[in-house]
Amino acid sequence: MQLSTKHLLGIKDLQLRDIELILSTATQFKEVLQRPIKKVPSLRDTTIVNLFYENSTRTRISFELAEKRLSADTLNFSASGSSVSKGETLLDTVNNILSMKVDMVVMRHSATGAPHFLAKHIPVAIVNAGDGINEHPTQALLDAFSIKEKLGKLEGKKIVLIGDIMHSRVALSNIYLLKKAGAEVMVAGPPTLIPKYISQAFHVRVEYNLRKALEWCDVANVLRIQLERQNQVLFSSLREYSLAYGVNKKLLDSLNKEIVILHPGPINRGVEINSDVADSNQSIILQQVENGVAVRMAVLYLLSNKQSFT
């Protein structure tokens, strides 16, 4: 029983049975997190470095907690305050850390493909915690876990991703996963934020009208405007974005059904989502965060077997 890949670089490389294995293992780890002593000894022989070249709250804490719950030793590296400011390259940084006998690397980097590059040069397992505008596989996995928890299954369910699709690694990973799992996927947002040929490339529906998108879907995954990744003006103002594409309670109440709301965080209250939605009982945003630890525990557990006492 193991994954078909040595690393978790993206959902693109995973098979459906890998995804199912991760989600079912995550269910058992979620039970561990309800116990009085929330620890299992499975990874006590493993040292993991969290290599974060980009800011993060949720993902980094979630990975660190997952590692500690598995009894692994953790090292946290953030680029600011390290020798990266003195010009040390990515490969040098990693090789130096690996010389101290680190067994796994969890990495977030602003350059698309950074973990793929690293995977060619170092022998240990790598978990991609987000690379540029490419993928964020553990986020898609925990989104899928949360939807499955709420609705029972993914197959046949209609999920819309709303917002800055073009720059969102959460969107791409979700599209890969949901398509593999047999769900129906739609992307919605302003035309400037949706890649031109996305429907042909990934067989997803495209919708520029928010109301129509919400009327179609069972689940809405609301994404943040990735201002830090846009180097051109792609919409007139945040206020105008929120008027056309912000999800608010009045809009949700006017639909003839109750849809489930997800958001990967951090939320820009009043922009892509209003507080009355984010804090409502249709939103499973906090459950996503809770499930994130269990899903990451499952990923680290399943990837750890690749080292053996040779």
Decide the pairing of beta strands 205-207 and 47-52: unpaired
- If the CB atoms of residues 27 and 55 are measured against another protein, the closer one turns out to be 27
Contact between 17 and another protein (CB under 8 A)?
no
- Residues 105-144, mask of contacts with another protein (x by CB under 8 A): ----------------------------------------
32 is a site residue for another protein (CB under 8 A): yes
Contact 217, 204 (CB under 8 A): no
**Interface with another protein includes 4 (CB under 8 A)?**
no
User: Please, what is the minimum distance in Å from the beta carbon of residue 290 to another protein?
Assistant: 18
What is the residue whose two structure tokens read 């953030």? 78
Q: Which is nearer to another protein, 33 or 244 (CB)?
A: 33
- Nearest alpha carbon to residue 170 among 204, 200, 144, 206: 144
Residue 302 contacts another protein per CB under 8 A: yes
Identify which of 77, 129, 85 has the alpha carbon closest to the alpha carbon of residue 108. 129
Which is nearer to another protein, 71 or 112 (by Cβ)? 71
116 CB burial (10 A radius; 0-12, 13-18, 19+): middle
Nearer to another protein by Cβ, of 231 and 310: the residue is: 310
Size, binding site for another protein by CB under 8 A: 25
Contact 215, 185 (CB under 8 A): no
- Residue 152 as a binder of another protein (CB under 8 A): the answer is no
Does position 25 interact with another protein (CB under 8 A)? The reply is: yes
Quick one: which of 2, 15, 95, 209 contacts another protein (CB under 8 A)?
2
Q: Which residues pair with 50 in a beta bridge?
A: 76, 106
Q: Give, as ranges, the residues between 36 and 95 that touch another protein (CB under 8 A).
A: 36-42, 45
The β-bridge partners of 222 are 162
Q: Is 275 in the site for another protein (CB under 8 A)?
A: no
Write out the two tokens for 264. 């990967």
Of 80, 200, 256, 308, the one binding another protein by CB under 8 A: 308
Which one, of 33, 52, 59, lies nearest residue 265 by Cα? 59
The C-alpha atoms of residue 219 and residue 158 are separated, in whole angstroms, by: 6
- Structural tokens at position 142: 């925990």
283 scored as a contact of another protein (CB under 8 A)? no
Distance (Å, whole) CA 224 – CA 164: 7
* The length of the chain, given as a count of residues: 310
> Among 24, 83, 209, 254, which residue sits at the site for another protein (rule: CB under 8 A)?
24
Nearer to another protein, 36 or 87 (CB): 36
| Binding footprint of another protein on the chain (CB under 8 A) | 1-2, 21, 24-25, 27-28, 31-32, 35-42, 45, 301-302, 304-305, 307-309
